Structure formats: structure tokens, C-alpha cells
Structure 1
Amino acid sequence: MSRAGLFPILIASIAATLVAVVGATITDIGPWYHALNQPRWAPPDALYGVAWMAIYAFTAIAGVYAWLATPNRREREWLIGLFAINGFLNTMWSVLFFQLHRPDWAMIEAIGLWLSVAALIVAIWPRSMTGAVLLVPYLLWATFAGYLNMTIVHLNGPFG
């Protein structure tokens, strides 16, 4: 593989790892979280790490496909911006939910996160159908997590 082909792999790997590490660092599965009423269908804590690891890997690979299929620098920068917005929203959800203990605010923010994943799929689709399809599990997980977040708010609110 050429040096030009390795660069997007390196960038996507670093970006996905950075979002994952920051998210894991600020996610506190401690007494406050365990005191929340959860629906019976909530997954076990161990499943979240596995799901997010797969999502970050698929997102990085989708980013590489999109980068390699995008014809010019300006469009690549625009796509990188969409990925950056998504990474920021991904991290902010954890800040709102786990650090600020505001699942109600996190629920509202989850809509923006979901929209950012959908925007990535729409933006990547014409360039790389494979890249877009790799983001579908992320969209499904964001849908499920948003519904779980909403259910936690209904079972435990009001907050703040």
C-alpha cells in the first residue's frame, strides 16, 4: 500500500482511538449510575464496551473508505468535519450523562448524535456505499441507546 493510502488509516485510527479513550475516561459506571432505575431490557454493562469497540472500528474503516473515495481535498476536509462533529457529540453525551448526571440533557443531545451519524451515512453513500453501510450499526446503536436514555429519564426523572 502506498504512503498516501496509509495516511487515512493512521488518521482514522488515531481519531477513533482518541474518541474511545476520552469516552471511556469520562464514563463512570459507579454508584450514581447503578442507583438509576433501568428497564429490564437494558443490556449488561459489559456489552457496552464490546458494542462501542465495534462501532469505533467500523467508523474508522468507514472514514478510510470515504477518504479514499473522495476526489479532492475540500470534500475530504468537509467529511473530516462531519466525523469531528460526530466525535464531539459522542463525547458530549458521556459528559452530560455520566459526569453532569443529566440524562435528560443527554437525551436531547442524543438526537444531535443520531442526526450526525445519519448525516455521515448520507454524505458517504455517494462516495462509498461500503463506507456508508459500515455506519449502519452505529445508527442502530444510537437509536437503541437514545431509546434507553429516554426510558431512564422516564423511570428516574426529574433531574437537576
Structure 2
Amino acid sequence: MTVLKQTMGLIGWQLISFAGAAMGAVASVQAATFYQQLAKPSWAPPSSVFGPVWTILYALMAIAAWLVWREGGWRRQRGVLDLFVIQLVLNALWSWLFFAWHRGALAFADIALLWLLIVGIVIGFWRVRPLAGAMLLPYLLWVSFASALNFAVWQLNPQILG
């Protein structure tokens, strides 16, 4: 694979990953204000933490997908790369469910499914390129934490998060 093709691939995976981020960000325009209004557990981070963490995680996701893509392209890695794209959609959908539509139960169901997909992707990426799987471990840990936070906030705010 030429350097140009590898570079274009990396740019492409960054664009795909951050397009997923952008879909979720549209729903999160008022997230900080909404988040401040909610009752939260004592271990909940301030809203200012989420943006930087997600930026790093999306960059790592893109690099991990690129590393897998480099091992035979989309044709050879189609299954796990398809799952990767599906999880980007589920990730973006969570922001709509939680922040835009205030649907705590559906957001929790979404993040639980997202968590399962991430586990599958970590395993799939690891089999192709261990470094790619390892690069998704911070994402898995963060979504594990976010799942617990989603559940706790939903339970503390049944009147708002239905």
C-alpha cells in the first residue's frame, strides 16, 4: 500500500469517525445547560470533561479503524469495519435520545447495545491487529463509566428523563 493511499485512508477514517461525533454533537448543543439541571450522583464529572475526552476517544477510534483497514482494506475486514460504523451511529443516537429527546430508558438501552458492540469490535480489531484492539480499550472503559452514569442520572431524574 502506497504512502499516499495510507495517508488518504487515515484521513478517511478520521472523517468517518468525526462525522459520527458531529451527528451526536448536533443533539448536544444544549447538553451542558441540560446536564447542569439534572440531579447527578456525587461521582459525576463536570460537563466540561466530556468534550476533551470524546475528542481523544474519536481520534483513537479512527486510528484503530485505520490500522485494521490497512490489513487488507474494506473488502478483507468488512465485518468488523461494518460493526465499527454501526457503533458510530449508535454512539451518535445516544446523544439524541438523552440530550435532545430526554429518553433516559432508551438512551440506556442504546448505550448497553453500544457497549456490547464495542466489546465485539475490540475483539475483532485485536485479532487483526492487537494495537488496534488495545487502542479501543479507553473507549470501552469510558462507555462502561458512561453507562453507569446514564443509569444513575436516569434513575435520579424520572420526571425529566421519562
Q: Secondary structure at the match of 2:127?
A: coil
Q: Secondary structure at the match of 1:40?
A: coil
The percent identity for this pair of structures is: 31
1:146 partnered with 2:151? no
Post-superposition Cα deviations, 1:25-45, rounded to whole Å, max 9, x if no partner, equal 211225543221011110011
d(CA) in 2 for partners of 1:72 and 1:34? 44
Q: In the alignment, which residue of structure 1 is the partner of 2:45?
A: 43
d(CA) in 2 for partners of 1:73 and 1:155? 43
Q: In the alignment, residue 80 of structure 1 is paired with which amino acid? A: L
Tell me the matched-pair count.
159
d(CA) in 2 for partners of 1:131 and 1:44? 30
Choose 141-150 or 96-105, whichever is displaced more.
96-105
Q: In the alignment, which residue of structure 1 is the partner of 2:109?
A: 108
d(CA) in 2 for partners of 1:61 and 1:82? 16
Return 5+ residue gaps in structure 1 as ranges.
none
d(CA) in 2 for partners of 1:73 and 1:80? 7
d(CA) in 2 for partners of 1:129 and 1:101? 38
CA RMSD after TM alignment = 1.6
Q: In the alignment, which residue of structure 1 is the partner of 2:156?
A: 155
Question: Which aligned pairs between 1:1-160 and structure 2 lie closer than 5 A?
Answer: 2-27=3-28, 28-29=30-31, 31-69=33-71, 71=72, 73-157=74-158, 159-160=161-162
